[in-house]
Amino acid sequence: MTPELERALQSCASEPIHLSGAIQPHGYLISCRLPDWSIHHVSANIEALTGAAPEDMLRHSLREFITGDVIQTIAETVGFADPGAPAQRAAVANIGPMATLCEVSVHAIDGLVHIEIEPQQRGAGDRSPTVVAQAMIARVAAGSEDEGAFRQRVVEQVRLLTGYDRVMVYRFRHDDSGEVVAEARDEDMPSYLGLRYPASDIPAQARRLYLHNRIRVIPDARYAPVPVLPDRSAGGQPLDLSQMSLRSVSPVHLEYLANMGVAASMSISIVAGGRLWGLIACHHREVRHVPPGVRAAADLFGLFVSMRVAAREQQEATRLEDEARAVRDALALRLSRAASGRAALQDELELVRRTVPSDGVALLRDGQWRTAGRTPPSACIAGVQAWLAQATGAGAPVATARAADWSTQDGSTDGIAGVLALPLDPVRGEWLLFFRCEEVEDVRWAGPPDEPFVIDKDGTRIGPRKSFAAWNETVRGASEPWNDAALRMAARLQLVLRDHFRDPGATGRVVEE
């Protein structure tokens, strides 16, 4: 990656998207302070709704523009919500001199109550979001034991609800790149299934925001932003729009959508274990409105999908832990029955390998190793020893996912990249080494990952890349990283083995080979 590109990516990740100072034009904003409902901010387009110019509304009371019963409902909704929570649908009401039928969403942040008003779209329907979400949940919950079938039902249900041309489940990987793992689409739309996108397509600050603000809709990606007036608070701070439904989004992202031939988009967060697991991402070739009621149903459905994904991940982690524990117990028994557990370990490597999710294992003793499963050639021993010499710390397992950390430049590693090393007797150079193969996958990147966007000739303006044609790249030299669960399993194995490797004087049990 060139320094120029690195700088550009950095600037991308530091764009304060929650301070855009504008909303999308399919709605209006009025922001008030309690207790007097004095108006402190309005969107520049407000006159079309209330018949009053922004300057004739600022510092006036909301009561001059909205009826008492609607204000009462707004107050109740805000009172019930947690401070800083995302906008919530509060009411459907006739607003302004034309009695425009509108949906009203509200949230409170920094002492301001933000009221977002969207004229109701024709044919929006009045089905209750809870009833709709309930039906969707029932349909995906029934019999989707298999993860693939579950995801397929998810995209089909969201497509049925919203009518988007293409609905995808987009899953983040360990390096924050992502992959489309399920798709339902109009047959005329190109398929994105299986395509990989670099982490910079959804930069870190956006991923952080989407953890809490779970749903985003851009009905018309070619819109002109409507400024919020004034764009700063009384204290001179830019307004925090992070929880707003109408927030005007990053112009870079709008360009991205245009490059994909997408005129309207929606995405729903899938959160599992406190981390953004993925998104349900939707595209449409034409302008498409998603009324607040449908958004509310999609949001509830997204919460269900999140819980289901989290439960599934938890189940899978528990299954792996249980399996590893059973293998450790079997290993402990065998070693304790042997005259020398320390000596017997080398005959139990197949069992040892299954105590930590890995492709192979080696027992390093006296500068040689005994192996089981997939391991690098023994020509790599010196390199591994050199890495161990500088990587050791306080007797805990050490790990790397990168072959470059321990391999010599010209030597082959036989496709191994990750090493997790467990000190048995580091003073004597005795180690247990787990290996992982490199993730040599044929990755179908949606456009070159090292060229995620185009930098203009003058180097100042950046835009997302223009090419979405799939091309293959082989990821070399790195394995799937050793996550906390793997490190925990290694630490537990270390406890099992410790008894057999204590100083002979201390235990009297260790018999030298």
Interacting residues toward ligand BLA by CB under 6 A: 12, 15, 17, 168, 170, 178, 180, 192, 197, 200-203, 206, 216, 218, 249-250, 252-253, 256, 265, 267, 279, 281, 452-453, 462, 464
In the complex with ligand BLA, the residue whose CB is nearer, 254 or 361, is 254
Q: Which of 288, 248, 279 has its CA nearest to residue 19?
A: 248
Cα 319 from Cα 315, distance rounded (Å): 6
Name the amino acid, one letter, at 368: Q
State the minimum distance, in angstroms, from the CB of residue 328 to ligand BLA. 40
Distance of CA 421 to the CA centre of its chain: 30
State the minimum distance, in angstroms, from the CB of residue 336 to ligand BLA. 52
* Tokens coding 345: 């370990």
In the complex with ligand BLA, the residue whose CB is nearer, 263 or 421, is 263
In the complex with ligand BLA, the residue whose CB is nearer, 246 or 432, is 246
State the minimum distance, in angstroms, from the CB of residue 67 to ligand BLA. 33
Strands 430-437 and 416-425: antiparallel
In the complex with ligand BLA, the residue whose CB is nearer, 244 or 510, is 244
Cα 80 from Cα 78, distance rounded (Å): 5
In the complex with ligand BLA, the residue whose CB is nearer, 12 or 345, is 12
Distance of CA 340 to the CA centre of its chain: 48
Q: Do residues 414 and 375 make contact, with C-beta atoms less than 8 angstroms apart?
A: yes
In the complex with ligand BLA, the residue whose CB is nearer, 29 or 218, is 218
State the minimum distance, in angstroms, from the CB of residue 270 to ligand BLA. 12
- Side-chain-facing half-sphere of 503: CA atoms under 13 Å: 3
In the complex with ligand BLA, the residue whose CB is nearer, 15 or 47, is 15
How many CB atoms neighbour CB 295 within 10 A? 26
State the minimum distance, in angstroms, from the CB of residue 110 to ligand BLA. 19
State the minimum distance, in angstroms, from the CB of residue 234 to ligand BLA. 25
Q: How far is CA 398 from CA 285, 494, 495, in A?
A: 50, 12, 15
Cα 246 from Cα 66, distance rounded (Å): 20
State the minimum distance, in angstroms, from the CB of residue 350 to ligand BLA. 42
State the minimum distance, in angstroms, from the CB of residue 258 to ligand BLA. 12
Q: Which of 278, 249, 284, 251 has its CA nearest to residue 265?
A: 284
In the complex with ligand BLA, the residue whose CB is nearer, 9 or 331, is 9
Phi, psi of 489 (to 5 degrees): -60, -40
- Side-chain-facing half-sphere of 305: CA atoms under 13 Å: 32
In the complex with ligand BLA, the residue whose CB is nearer, 65 or 301, is 301
In the complex with ligand BLA, the residue whose CB is nearer, 265 or 479, is 265
Cα 24 from Cα 22, distance rounded (Å): 7
| 3-class secondary structure per residue, 259-309 | HCCCCEEEEEEEEECCEEEEEEEEEECCCCCCCHHHHHHHHHHHHHHHHHH
Contacts with 422 (C-beta within 8 Å, 6 or more apart), sequence order = 397, 431, 432, 433, 434, 490, 493, 494, 497
State the minimum distance, in angstroms, from the CB of residue 213 to ligand BLA. 9
Distance of CA 111 to the CA centre of its chain: 30
State the minimum distance, in angstroms, from the CB of residue 225 to ligand BLA. 11
State the minimum distance, in angstroms, from the CB of residue 176 to ligand BLA. 11
In the complex with ligand BLA, the residue whose CB is nearer, 66 or 180, is 180
Helices 147-162 and 292-337 cross at an angle (nearest 10°) of: 170
In the complex with ligand BLA, the residue whose CB is nearer, 15 or 430, is 15
State the minimum distance, in angstroms, from the CB of residue 448 to ligand BLA. 12
* Tokens coding 193: 């299934």
